[in-house]
Chain A
Amino acid sequence: MRNILAIAKKEMTVYLTTPWAWIVFTFVSFVSSFFFIGLLVQFKQAHEQIRLMQGGWEQVGAEAQFLRNLTDGVVMPLYSTMLVVLLFVVPFLSARLFAEERRQKTFELLMTAPVTSTEIVLGKYLGGLVIIGATVSVTLVYPLVLAMFGSSFSATTSEKTATLEWVTVLLGFGALVLFGATVLAIGSFVSSLTESVIVAGLITFAVCLVWMIVKIVAPNADEPWRSVLDHLAFDVQLRNPMRGVFELKPLVFFSSVIATFLVLTHRSVESRRWV
């Protein structure tokens, strides 16, 4: 356990003393604030229009009903776009985990130290996970801002109600972290296969992008592939948690993907001893 923590701490130190993590934090804050402002403007316009209409929300079609409250109208759409942002930044973070060690010839230190390959893989994964958790946490500022300055009224009694549904918000936050953790596991494996950080990043991004939108890539698939792809696609698995519906299925699915790729990473690290 101490070895795992030592390696995790080293990874975090490297991320935070070099531009890697800071570039990601800055990029995520920049992009997400753009989307946040855009969504807020859209939300405000919708409410202004509705106020002028006879009958209010009853007149609006089902497809626009999500704009009724801040949780479904602003926070959750923001989190959905964050999924795409993570698809870009997590491969950027995961790429150096193993590839850089090989390039710098420091892997020999880890491999000849009295630590097991399992400890190396878990330590590195844990270190990356903390940075990804921090990256996703940057976006918590938006629900907090809304909770402080926003207000919400019950549709029937016009009484003031809680601004945000925190359970839904936290579920979306959890889904973001879980998705980041999944891409990180895939990225660790890819990184363990190459000496080039750039190659590792690009391949991870390509794999995860295709996996994310596999439904678009293969729109005319026949049964049984259609159902298989339906279950495998990241975006399908994420749809419900991103609507605030808690399900065990995505949790099991993403945990399985993470476990599979960590085992593959371990095998890949072990196999380095055998060439």
Chain B
Amino acid sequence: MAMIEVERLTKKYRERVAIDALTFQIQEGKIVGFLGPNGAGKSTTMKILTGFMPATEGKARVAGFDVFEKPLEAKRQIGYLPETPPLYPELTVRGFLKFVAELKGVPRGQVKSEIDRVAKGTGITSELDRLNSALSKGYRQRVGIAQALIGNPKLLILDEPTEGLDPRQRAEVLQLIKGLAGQHTVVLSTHILAEVKTICEQVLIIHRGKIVADESMANLTGGRENGLEEKFIQLTAT
């Protein structure tokens, strides 16, 4: 079953075309890397899929729900980590996750166990009673991912989840995302190719608002060591 179906999706900011008639599908259970140079339209696509803003033209469906016609149903299927983790600095991590659980309609009796579950999964159990504002960058990112995991959504959309982390934290977060495979469909955007190589099964490359590659990792690299880099540079050259 296709978890994400996008048809001729277009977004214009006044005259500037951010994404231009994107069409692609993402199958359930896959980890998909969403690549492209800065400003290619990755974040815009993700913001449309999560219902943060509407497209100018075209259709997008998440788990069969049109994100424009049935926004609430579509949003219930999605856990989203925006570029900047949306943490309220005044709340504790626990208070914040509780708030998110209530917003996502986690049944009252299960809120506590749900918080414990995602905290364990992202390794933030020891930080639960600290204020969000006191967290290091790495922990902020983890809390952001924990927040996306609440309610066990089918689809995770992570916008540059490793941005601004040190190499060790990067490896940890990637390991964490890899561990989510199977239970969730994961779409993550990044411009760091090495990360994609280690965890993604399918790669979408977007350049100047258009899809320039939509293939499995093996096909794209052709089995060569530097295949992905070569391909990326070749496809985004113009």
The chain A residues found within 8 Å of chain B, CB to CB, are 2-3, 6-7, 9-10, 13-14, 17-18, 104-116, 273-275
The chain B residues found within 8 Å of chain A, CB to CB, are 50-54, 72-73, 75-76, 78, 80, 82, 84, 86-91, 95, 99-100, 102-105, 147
Shortest Cβ distance from B82 into A: residue = A108
A residues in contact with B87, CB < 8 Å: 104, 106
B residues in contact with A110, CB < 8 Å: 103
Q: How far, in whole Å, are A147 and B206 apart by their CA atoms in the complex?
A: 74
- Given A114-B72, A114-B76, A13 and B95 contact (CB-CB distance below 8 Å): yes
A-B pairs, 10 with minimum CB distance: A6-B102, A109-B86, A113-B103, A114-B75, A105-B84, A112-B50, A106-B86, A108-B82, A14-B90, A114-B76
Q: How far, in whole Å, are A13 and B132 apart by their CA atoms in the complex?
A: 14
Q: How far, in whole Å, are A144 and B82 apart by their CA atoms in the complex?
A: 51
Contact among B53, B90, B95, B147 for A109, CB-based, below 8 A = B147
- Given A14-B90, A17-B90, A274 and B54 contact (CB-CB distance below 8 Å): yes
- Given A106-B87, A108-B52, A109-B86, A114 and B105 contact (CB-CB distance below 8 Å): yes
B residues in contact with A10, CB < 8 Å: 88, 91, 99
B residues in contact with A274, CB < 8 Å: 53-54
- A-B contact list, 23 entries, CB within 8 Å: A6-B99, A6-B102, A10-B88, A10-B91, A13-B91, A14-B91, A104-B87, A104-B88, A105-B82, A105-B84, A107-B86, A108-B86, A109-B147, A112-B75, A112-B82, A113-B100, A113-B103, A114-B72, A114-B76, A116-B72, A273-B53, A273-B54, A274-B53
B residues in contact with A14, CB < 8 Å: 88, 90-91
Task: Give the distance to chain B from A106, nearest Cβ to Cβ, in Å.
Answer: 4
Q: How far, in whole Å, are A273 and B48 apart by their CA atoms in the complex?
A: 10
A residues in contact with B50, CB < 8 Å: 112
Q: How far, in whole Å, are A123 and B80 apart by their CA atoms in the complex?
A: 22
Q: How far, in whole Å, are A227 and B95 apart by their CA atoms in the complex?
A: 51
Q: How far, in whole Å, are A106 and B105 apart by their CA atoms in the complex?
A: 19
Shortest Cβ distance from B144 into A: residue = A109
A residues in contact with B54, CB < 8 Å: 273-274
A residues in contact with B88, CB < 8 Å: 10, 14, 104, 106
A residues in contact with B75, CB < 8 Å: 112-114
A residues in contact with B147, CB < 8 Å: 109
Task: Give the distance to chain A from B152, nearest Cβ to Cβ, in Å.
Answer: 14
The answer to whether B105 and A112 touch across the interface, beta carbons within 8 angstroms, is: no
The answer to whether B103 and A3 touch across the interface, beta carbons within 8 angstroms, is: yes
B residues in contact with A3, CB < 8 Å: 102-103, 105
A residues in contact with B89, CB < 8 Å: 104
The answer to whether B91 and A111 touch across the interface, beta carbons within 8 angstroms, is: no
Q: How far, in whole Å, are A274 and B56 apart by their CA atoms in the complex?
A: 9
- Given A13-B91, A14-B90, A106-B86, A112 and B72 contact (CB-CB distance below 8 Å): no
A residues in contact with B82, CB < 8 Å: 105, 108-109, 112
Q: How far, in whole Å, are A150 and B82 apart by their CA atoms in the complex?
A: 60
Among A7, A13, A116: residue with most chain B CB under 10 A: A13
Q: How far, in whole Å, are A6 and B88 apart by their CA atoms in the complex?
A: 14
